[in-house]
Amino acid sequence: MIDTNPTALRDTLREAGLRPTKQRLALARLLLGGGHRHVTADDLLAEARAQGVSVAQTTVYNVLHQFHRAGLLKEVLVESGRTWYDTKTGSHMHLYDEETGAVSDLDQDPRALQILDKLELPDDVDVMSVDVVVRVRAKKNQI
Amino acid sequence: MIDTNPTALRDTLREAGLRPTKQRLALARLLLGGGHRHVTADDLLAEARAQGVSVAQTTVYNVLHQFHRAGLLKEVLVESGRTWYDTKTGSHMHLYDEETGAVSDLDQDPRALQILDKLELPDDVDVMSVDVVVRVRAKKNQI
DNA sequence: GTACGTGCAAACGTTTTGCAGCGGG
DNA sequence: CCCGCTGCAAAACGTTTGCACGTAC
């Protein structure tokens, strides 16, 4: 877990090779300041502006990419057309509700994750990530 | 495996509740007629036209959605912005090359798939699919 | 001072929509 | 004949790009 007081956020950014600008600090606070979160670029932009942070859409996209490259965020691809970002960066699975579009973490028996970390893969490639998405729909209430 | 002679394709479409129109038959032949394939809407449109099939882009999108809904195709979401379709509908994993954008099937120890089929999930939801994508990059040639 | 960051507007590529006309049963 | 299907054009969507201005150090 990342320390989230202002000074620590500054250091986190600097360690990632990113200048601690006003916008990056504000977005870092929103993303990393609370518990684990799943956000889209649009979510983050709206949230930032709702809190009075002055930031452009372009900057939100830039920052999400930079944080992703720096390992501070995980990209979650569950819909074609929108990219989700997850502040929980460790190995885990995702649940995707096809009806509401909601993304959530799936806490799972560690053995399942171990198996996925030990897949037999071609040895001429480096594995960047192993992404698991469980697509679900709410059960119709059938008493 | 689906029988792919013209009459059988007709029946496949009818069983899916879809009229065997000229375009749907042509696209069904391209998709289901050969071995397993991974295509995007654009790929399929280009291929159809290269073979002299008269079909509109809209229709390709319509047909891909209809075939997906009918269980004839699997959707593969590996990039935000483009949807891939896989003619292999059974449970399996995918390999995605982040540099070339290529999608391929990952043949895997059946035990890994069994684990995925037995995940502990909330019991108020129906599982539509469990999708696994392994993101890779070619290793730099380092002798 | 200078390299990096931000923000606007315009462009991008894929997918979706509205609607007139066509064709399978 | 009718309902579903096709095809065109235009719009919509999230995202990316080009470039002038601003700011951290």
d(CA A66, CA A86): 14
Q: Structurally, how many domains does chain B consist of?
A: 1
> Is the CB of residue A82 inside 7 Å of nucleic acid strand D?
yes
Question: Residue A51 belongs to a domain with what CATH number?
Answer: 1.10.10.10
Question: Which amino acid is present at A103?
Answer: V
Question: Does B112 score more than 60 pLDDT?
Answer: yes
Write the pLDDT tens digit of every residue in B34-64: 889 999 999 999 999 999 999 999 999 999 9
* Nucleotide minimizing C1' to CA distance for residue A56: C7
Question: Does B115 score more than 60 pLDDT?
Answer: yes
Alpha-carbon torsion A80, A139, B116, A72, what sign? Answer: positive
Beta carbons of A70 and A27 less than 8 angstroms apart: no
CB contact under 8 A, A81 and B81: yes
Q: How far is B106 from chain A (nearest CA, A)?
A: 8
Residues 6+ apart with CB under 8 A from A12: A2, A3, A28, A32, A72
Write the pLDDT tens digit of every residue in B120-132: 888 999 999 999 9
The helix-helix angle for A22-32 and A41-50 (nearest 10°) equals: 110
CB contact under 8 A, B79 and A79: no
- Reduce the DSSP state of residue A143 to 3 states and report it: coil
> Is the CB of residue B65 inside 7 Å of nucleic acid strand C?
yes
Could you list the residue range(s) of the whole structural domain that residue B72 is in?
1-143
Pairing, β B74-79 against β A38-40 = unpaired
pLDDT at A1: 59
Q: Averaged in consecutive runs of 10 residues, what is the pLDDT profile of chain A (143 residues)?
A: 78 96 98 92 98 97 98 96 95 93 88 84 92 92 61
Residue B119, phi then psi, degrees to nearest 5: -65, 150
pLDDT band at B111 (very low <50, low <70, confident <90, very high): confident
